[in-house]
Structures are given as C-alpha cells and as structure tokens.
Amino acid sequence: MRITKQREIILQILREKRSHPTALEIYNMAKEHIHDISLSTVYRTLKDMVEKGEIVELHMEGETKARYDLNLDNHAHFKCRHCGRIFDIEIMFPLKLIGFKVERTDIYIYGICSQCSKKEVLA
C-alpha cells in the first residue's frame, strides 16, 4: 500500500483530533497542510482507509454525516445530548457469544457527559 501525503495528513489529524471528526472537518484541517487538496480526495482516502481496516466509520444517531475514529480497540462511543461531543468509553471485553466469532463491536451510548451534568446541577 502506497502512503500518500493525503493519507499521512488524515492519519495525523485523526491522531491529534480525538473528537471523531467528519470528512468535512478533516478536509478543513487538511487544507492547512495541503492547500490544493479536494474534498473528494478526502472522501476517497477515508473510504479506502475504512475498507482496509485502518480507521472506523461511525454513524451516530441524529447525525447525517459519518464520523471517523482511529482507535481500532474494542470500545463504545458516548454522545452527549447537550454539548454534542463524542467520547471513547472503555467496556469490558472480550464479548463471547457461543457459536460466533466476534470481530468487531459497535456500541453507541447517548446521555449527558460529566461536564454538562455538573452544569445542570449548578443551574
């Protein structure tokens, strides 16, 4: 697999931005490094990286745009319904199902994060 400058920049962005950015957010950050990068190049590169298992594509409830995660370890995602941030949540694994081999688990949890909960108590 050929490592392109676009791929390197996208991986760098995903390492630095643990916020699970959308393709458009990644594109806007990538333009700071590669001024002539196109949005279609970002979409193609992300699609290729997902297909090769380098990153995970997230589909959060209530969102029309996919988000991307570099963390390939089994974990859940928590979305705060107040601030909209998405957090990686560790869950006890491995998940064992009799007669099945679990390769990947997608768990989405929705609620209020600890920072927003504190604000609600203070209000």
Supply the pLDDT for residue 123: 59
State the span(s) of the chain assigned CATH 1.10.10.10: 5-69
Question: What fold characterizes domain 76-122?
Answer: Dna Ligase; domain 1 (3.30.1490)
State the span(s) of the chain assigned CATH 3.30.1490: 76-122
Give me the average pLDDT of each 10-residue run along the chain (123 residues). Answer: 87 94 97 95 96 93 93 88 91 76 84 88 64
Supply the pLDDT for residue 93: 63
Tell me the torsion sign for CA atoms 29, 30, 35, 36: negative
Question: What fold characterizes domain 5-69?
Answer: Arc Repressor Mutant, subunit A (1.10.10)
Let me know how many helices (H) and strands (E) the chain has, helices first. Answer: 4, 5
- 46 is written with which tokens? 């992300």
Q: What's 19's DSSP letter? A: T
pTM score, whole prediction: 0.83
